[in-house]
A and B are shown apart, each in its own frame.
Chain A
Amino acid sequence: MNPFTLFIIGILQAILLLLLAPLYSGFARVMRAKMHSRTGPPLMQNYRDIRKLMTRQEVVSEQAGWIFRVTPYVNLACMFLAAMVIPALTTASPLEAAGDLILIVYLFALPRFFLAVAGLESGSSLAGIGARRELLVSALAEPILLLVIFVMALLTKTTNLGRISTEVATGAFPFSLAFVLGLAAFAFAAYIEMGKLPFDLGEAEQELQEGPLAEYSGRSLAILKWSVYLKQLVLVALFMALFIPFGAMTELSIVGFILALIVFPLKAALWYFIAAIFENAMARTRFMNAPAVVWMALGMALLSFVFYLANV
């Protein structure tokens, strides 16, 4: 495919994900309310919240330095970049030179670093505690992500996300138990990274008042919330690209493009639907119990690796 066309598709795709992200989070909220037998907020509530916050006065803690101020912008820029390079509408990465899996995993550390430092900068104890929890949860999820990525890379002999995606989509890739278990483990890790219950430890609304977000207000909060929504959708896109790239374009065509435009949002909706069922079936656990659950996911990833070794 022509790299320039791909690049344009990448930008379009990132804008699409950016615009859709609050909708999916709204969808998750609606689902949650339905399962609680509540009326719940309207589907579009997140957009209204963002619009409202944008024009509100921003109140910044006097302790906060420049990192606190730039963090929302860095976060959104970083997530936008991830949304640009992960293949969602196409199976090739829209930007091959930034479409490396290891790069993408490490790129997620940048917003995390800034958000954690911002939490400490605000001087608020809630934000500080949220920051340290967020980092611990990521530290638990990251080895799982990487092990699965390694298994996929070994199966396909490449670490480029676009190439893996193409191989899986075109069926050049042998289906195996390792693949299925890798899928499960990766889904688990992505679920953890998305901060869904019981892993909403960093931004625990009930106890930490949204953790690192606690001190944000006005347009900074709006941008930060939006980047959190986008991060969730980007993780979904990453999962889809690795394991379920069906419906994305392998060759450029108008029909394919329209098809991809329809199929990807549906796949994402399915993910959010299943995630909502899991989320609402689970209770919040004590923070210190979270690692125990994560070991299970690591176990699945290891099992996937063992199956890869045994060639099953």
Chain B
Amino acid sequence: MTSIQFFVLALTLYLVGALASLFASPRTSRGVAAFFGLIGSLSALLAVVFALTEGTPPSLTLFAIQPFGEFTFQMDWLSTLMVALIALVGAATSLYSFSDAPANVSVSFFTDLFMASMLVVVTVTNAFYFLVFWEVMTLASYFLVVWEFDKKESARTGFIYFLVAHIGAALIMVTFFLFFGKAGTFDFAGIRAASIPSAVKDIVFVLAFLGFGAKAGMVPLHFWTPDTYAAAPSHVSALMASVMKKTAVYGILRVCVDLLGGSALWWGFTVLTFGALSTVFGAFYALSEKDIKRLLALSSVENVGIILMGVGLGMIGLALSFPTLAALGFLAALYHMLNHAFFKGLLFLGAGSVIDKTGTRDLNLMGGLSRRMPWTALTFLVGALAVTAIPPLNGFVSEWFTYQALLNAAGSDLFALRVFAPLFAVSLALAGAFAVMVYVKAYGGAFAGPARSEKARFAKDPSAASVVSLVYLALGTIVLGLGAPWIAPRIAAVAAGFAKQPLIAVSAGWTMLPGSPLVSVVSTPLVAILLIGLLIVPVVVVAAYGGWRASRRSNVEPWSNGYGYAAVMSVRASSFDQPVKVSFRPLYWVRTLVERPYRAAANFYNAAVESVRRAEPVVENAVTRPTLKLVETAGQWIQTLQMGDIRLYCLYIIITLAILLVVLFGGSGS
């Protein structure tokens, strides 16, 4: 079979899974959706494997409707990378949802539909169908967010998500209609070939960047993400954070780089600046959360920022005709996209099983889970170390490339870049330091210390299938980190391919390098081997002193200045970040400023509910009540006719006969 056949098979399997789950009981539907989701993802993965071996980008046209054009899938390298990302994460979330997704027909149906729509979005080569499936994706995820629709909170969150997603979609729609106006076609190939005036290009960039940026959750359009991810079931939160956000970044790359053909300098600057802001503010706000899912959602804002920084640097590279910068920027962005998909998927699924077992999202009510849920704890730790960019895991690799791209930008001739690139590097470092705090808080709050609630005391690991999915994602995280010298050139080829830039050297043997070995070389596998190998040093040191003979006691209470120990004495998650909140108060003040639109939208929703509530009595007073009254009065009138007297009924019959006779004879007589 060819890659495109596997691709169509994957789509079919997702759709079959979605439809089949409609006709099953809630519990069976979960299994059906998970099963078809899993084999669909495997099929998509095979499509990727075959696409890598095939020379030309595989494509398939299903049908064509005028004036919209052909409905064609094409797996060029960027699309192939996106399909791989969806398949790799989709396999994990499907496996997880076998037993740990909510048993709910609607959730099962929309999960598979959601995955199918994302596959189409990243491969379709026509703006019209892109929009249609973008909308399907948004709606499917909307229904997944409001799955607990009877909760007031959930309905409100869903409404805000719906609103923001559609404002974004509207901007994207205008973008594509502008294209249609200039190029006369919705086909990407036609748009690419058309000559578009630079003023229109600028407008298109702004619209597309804001539209896709809202979906990607960049600051200041991030305000909907924490609530939305918290409301969705955990496997869906994982999909939304790991994959759906990336389809938005894909949109930026496709429209602003590929379709517009290159970039103006200020576009790249805009993307870079928004990225840097997202990085810092995402990390800050994540730190102040005590809800584990909101914390992860805001940390995704930070990571989207890192990705956008890479994209922005790449665009600047294109605008300046600086191939090394372009290649490094896009490489960093694409690599971080893949990395974030793995570790954030892992963290959301891990958080999901913790929430499932403890019945709360509040970090303050967890604690001590590392002994109750060893697998979840271990894999969550791997994810946490990766997301904080600790070498040799994968987060470090992509951040290192981002730093190298920034260094290249700082060394360019453009004065603005020379000033701002190092400052953006500082913001990245600051965000990195705060990410460490965020994840010490998340891991420490959930897994360390004494259990702080009754349920946390009796939690246990999720089912075997879910543990496998967690371990798989953790291994993926490790492979992407240690295998960087072998994976980076492949991603660099994707980046160079779609940006139409010459390929640069990003690895040699066991090391990765930023274009030239003279700048630097880093070998993540070597660091890993040394770190593990050097554990021998403390062991030898202790042995040299005869320390291993000393005994160990581990049944004592922690020291509490001579008082009896109580679990409440341990540092809770919400007090962990207190020094930061005090030291950086102005930044949290900015938060209230930024989140104003969110509150405005929430108020609007409340007002809408209220006005419906008020409209109801109005309709009742004006229409329903009078009608009822009329019927009632008419009934009473009619009742007076029916006195129950037999003589009266005889009179009625006679009157009726008389009238009939008059009508009949009067009619024939004339």
Contact = CB atoms under 8 A, between A and B. Distances in A.
B580 A125 contact: no
Contacts of A200: none
Given A62-B556, A215-B559, A113 B447 contact: no
Interface in A136-151: 136, 138-139, 142-143, 145-147, 150-151
A98 B533 CA distance: 14
A77 B538 contact: yes
A124 B354 CA distance: 23
Contact of B450 (A63, A73, A95, A219): A63
Contacts of A121: 370, 444, 448-449
A109 B530 contact: no
Interface stretch (B18-26, B82-90, B564-572): B564-572
A60 B554 contact: yes
A252 to B, nearest CB: 21
A291 interface: yes
A110 B534 CA distance: 14
Contact of B558 (A96, A122, A226, A227): A122
Interface in B534-567: 534-535, 537-539, 541-542, 545-560, 565, 567
Contacts of A95: 526, 530
Contacts of B254: none
B411 to A, nearest CB: 6
A122 B531 CA distance: 24
Interface stretch (B291-299, B434-442, B465-473, B620-628): B434-442
Contacts of A56: 550
A160 interface: yes
Interface in A56-96: 56-67, 72-74, 76-78, 80-81, 84, 95-96
B648 interface: no
A135 interface: yes
Interface in B137-166: none
A72 B560 contact: no
Contact of A97 (B400, B425, B510, B571): B510
A147 B425 contact: yes
Nearest to B430: A143
Contacts of A143: 426, 429-430, 433
Main SS at interface, chain B: helix
Contacts of B541: 18, 76, 223, 226
Interface residues of A, number: 87
B520 interface: yes
Interface in B376-429: 377, 381, 384-385, 388-391, 396, 399-400, 403-404, 406-407, 410-411, 418-419, 422, 425-426, 429
B521 interface: yes
Contacts of A279: none
Contacts of A96: 521
B550 A57 contact: yes
Contacts of A110: 385, 390-391, 531
Contact of A124 (B429, B521, B558): B558
A150 B421 CA distance: 10
B550 A55 contact: yes
B519 interface: yes
Identify the interface centre among A61, A158, A209: most chain B CB within 10 Å of its CB. Answer: A61
Contact of B567 (A103, A105, A123, A131): A123
Contact of B370 (A65, A218, A219): A65
A153 interface: yes
Interface string A18-61: 10000000000000000000000000000000110011111111
A147 B370 CA distance: 37
A214 B391 contact: no
B430 A139 contact: yes
Main SS at interface, chain A: helix
A215 B433 CA distance: 25
A106 interface: yes
Interface in A208-228: 209, 214-215, 218-219, 222-223, 226-227
A96 B560 CA distance: 47
B576 interface: yes
B290 to A, nearest CB: 14
B516 to A, nearest CB: 9
Contact of B547 (A55, A123, A154): A55
B419 A139 contact: no
Contacts of B560: 124-125
A78 B518 CA distance: 26
B577 interface: yes
Given A81-B531, A125-B569, A57 B553 contact: yes
B547 A98 contact: no
B519 A103 contact: no
Nearest to A139: B433
Interface in B559-602: 559-560, 565, 567, 569-571, 576-580, 582-583
A59 B550 CA distance: 11
Given A65-B370, A102-B400, A142-B432, A135 B440 contact: yes
Contacts of B530: 81, 84, 95, 98
B550 A58 contact: yes
B527 interface: yes
Contacts of B120: none
A92 to B, nearest CB: 13
A158 B520 contact: yes
A132 interface: yes
A124 B391 contact: no
A8 interface: no
B526 A151 contact: no
A244 B48 CA distance: 52
Contacts of A54: 542, 545-547, 550
Nearest to B549: A55
B537 A58 contact: no
B308 to A, nearest CB: 20
A54 B552 CA distance: 12
A124 B432 contact: no
A106 B390 contact: yes
B364 to A, nearest CB: 13
B552 A97 contact: no
Given A100-B521, A136-B437, A146-B425, A154 B410 contact: yes
Given A54-B546, A147-B426, A109 B432 contact: yes
Given A80-B534, A143-B429, A288-B582, A100 B522 contact: yes
Interface in B339-362: none
A120 B407 contact: no
Given A81-B531, A103-B400, A112-B436, A125 B520 contact: no
B507 to A, nearest CB: 11
A107 interface: yes
A106 B398 CA distance: 13
B571 A120 contact: yes
A50 B552 CA distance: 17
B385 A153 contact: no
Identify the interface centre among B381, B403, B425, B518: most chain A CB within 10 Å of its CB. Answer: B403
Contacts of B534: 77-78, 80-81, 84
B72 interface: no
25 contacts: A54-B542, A55-B550, A58-B552, A60-B556, A63-B368, A65-B371, A97-B510, A102-B400, A106-B390, A107-B390, A109-B389, A113-B384, A116-B440, A116-B444, A120-B570, A120-B571, A120-B576, A122-B558, A128-B449, A132-B579, A135-B437, A147-B426, A147-B429, A219-B545, A288-B579
Top 5 A-B residue pairs of the complex, sorted by shortest distance between their CB atoms: A128-B571, A120-B444, A139-B433, A54-B545, A97-B523
Interface of A: 18, 50-51, 54-67, 72-74, 76-78, 80-81, 84, 95-98, 100, 102-103, 105-107, 109-110, 112-113, 116-117, 120-129, 131-133, 135-136, 138-139, 142-143, 145-147, 150-151, 153-154, 157-160, 163, 209, 214-215, 218-219, 222-223, 226-227, 287-288, 291, 305, 309
Given A18-B541, A57-B553, A117-B448, 5 more contacts: A61-B556, A113-B436, A131-B440, A214-B559, A222-B542
